[in-house]
Each structure stands twice: as C-alpha cells, then as structure tokens.
Amino acid sequence: MLHQRSFRKAGANCTTGSIYQKSREYDVLDKKKTVTALRAGEDRAILLGLGMVILSVMMYFVLGITILRSYSDRVWTDETSCTVVNSTIACDVNCSYGCGTECRRSSRYPCLQVFVSLNSSGKVVRLLHNEETQDSNPECFYVPKCRKDYAATHVVVQNISERLKSQHTVQCFVDPTDRMDSAILTQIYGRVAVFHSLFWPTCTLIGGTIIIAMVKLTQYLSIMCERVDRIKR
C-alpha cells in the first residue's frame, strides 16, 4: 500500500511538473512571438522614418536648385506704389499651339502694353505681369496661352486692361539697381512661395526624425526594463 501511494504521488508530481513545464514553454513561445512582432514593427517604423528623412532631403535638393536659386537671383526686389499711366492693346503677336502629336498650328494673341509711374521717383516704366513675362515677351504685360479661339483670348486680355485702369494705383516690384527699365506686378519666387515650398519638406523631415527617435527611445526603455527584471531575479 505504501509503495502504491508513493507511486501515485510521484505520478501526480510528474503530471503537475509536465503541465507546468508545458505552460512555461507556451509562455516562452508567446513571449518570443510578441518580441518578434514588436521588432518587426520597430524595423518598419525605422524604415518609414528613414524614408521620410531621405525624401525631405531630396525635396530640399530639388527646391534648392529651382525655387531657392530663382529667389536668390531675382531682380525685382523692392516693392513700391505705381500709378497706371496707360493700358492699351497695341498689336497682335503670332503664336503656335499644339493640335495633336507632332501637329502645330498658328494663331495670335493681343499684346497688352501697360506703363506705370513709380510714385517713389516719378519714373515711367513698362509694367509686366511677373518674371516669366520678361523671358516670354517683354513688350507685353501679359502673355496668355496660345489658343485657337482668338476672340476668347482677346476678351481675357481686354478684361485685364479694364481692371488695371479701374485700379489706377497698384503695388509693383522694381529693380533697386535700375538695371531693368520695367516693373512687375506679382512675384513668382517671393517669400510666400519660398515658405510654402519649404513647409512640407520641413514637416516631413521633422516627422521622420520624431519616428526614429521614438523607436530608439522605446528600444532603450525595453532594454532597461529587461536589466531591472534580471537584477530582481
């Protein structure tokens, strides 16, 4: 009887020990799966952060050789008040527009000439719409897109002329060195354009840096917690 009781106790202890061991093995496996999943998520977060940082650097590079360079090379920098002296359609200018693959047709657009008097100096200069007008046709205030319908283009240019006459006085930008005998109405590469062009790359750079920093901080805290647990054991 004594041997049978001892055998039963031993069997019960073995059964309890095996159940405890299996439970512990399951806990270890679950912990390993959790750690693996966390590491995979951390790796993806770091890759996302690095991708955002690299993208922002590329955007800075592109903007540096386009908008920022044009901003630094701009000529019409001083803003002043201008009085419209004359705003008339002087002549028609020939142009061409696309009508399909390797197809070009000729048309024309009205050339609006606007002269203004600089209130700061009294000098009369030609007024242009923006910096690109100087390169397209410096004789005309506005160079519209070449279209087949000349009448529609003429109406647009005529409306611009009437609006300038009604305003009489406008804000314009001039060359402080007097190298250019013209003024422009609006700046393409002004401070506002530079701000808007740099805003999103900066946000992307900051966001990517924060993601990487948060992941590294989480990893550091996890290592510290494991060290504390080992010391307590």
Consecutive H or E run containing 111 = strand 103-118
Positive or negative CA dihedral for 31, 34, 37, 43?
Answer: negative
Q: Where are the domains of the chain?
A: 77-187
The C-alpha R_g of the chain, in whole angstroms, comes to 37
Give the residue, 27 or 160, on which the prediction is more confident: 160
DSSP state for residue 141 in the 8-state scheme: S
Contact 183, 170 (CB under 8 A): no
Strands 124-128 and 103-118: antiparallel
Residue 222 has pLDDT above 80, yes or no: no
The tens digit of pLDDT for each residue in 76-97 reads 888 889 999 988 888 888 888 8
Residue 10 has pLDDT above 50, yes or no: no
- Amino acid found at 209: T
Helix (H, G, I), strand (E, B) or coil at 180: coil
> How confident is the model at residue 77, as a pLDDT?
81
> How confident is the model at residue 138, as a pLDDT?
87
Gap between the Cα atoms of 55 and 58, Å rounded? 5
Confidence (pTM): 0.61
Residue 135 has pLDDT above 70, yes or no: yes
Helix (H, G, I), strand (E, B) or coil at 153: helix
Residue 223's pLDDT band, with cuts at 50, 70 and 90, is confident
> How confident is the model at residue 71, as a pLDDT?
74
Contact 183, 76 (CB under 8 A): yes
> How confident is the model at residue 107, as a pLDDT?
86
Residue 136 has pLDDT above 80, yes or no: yes
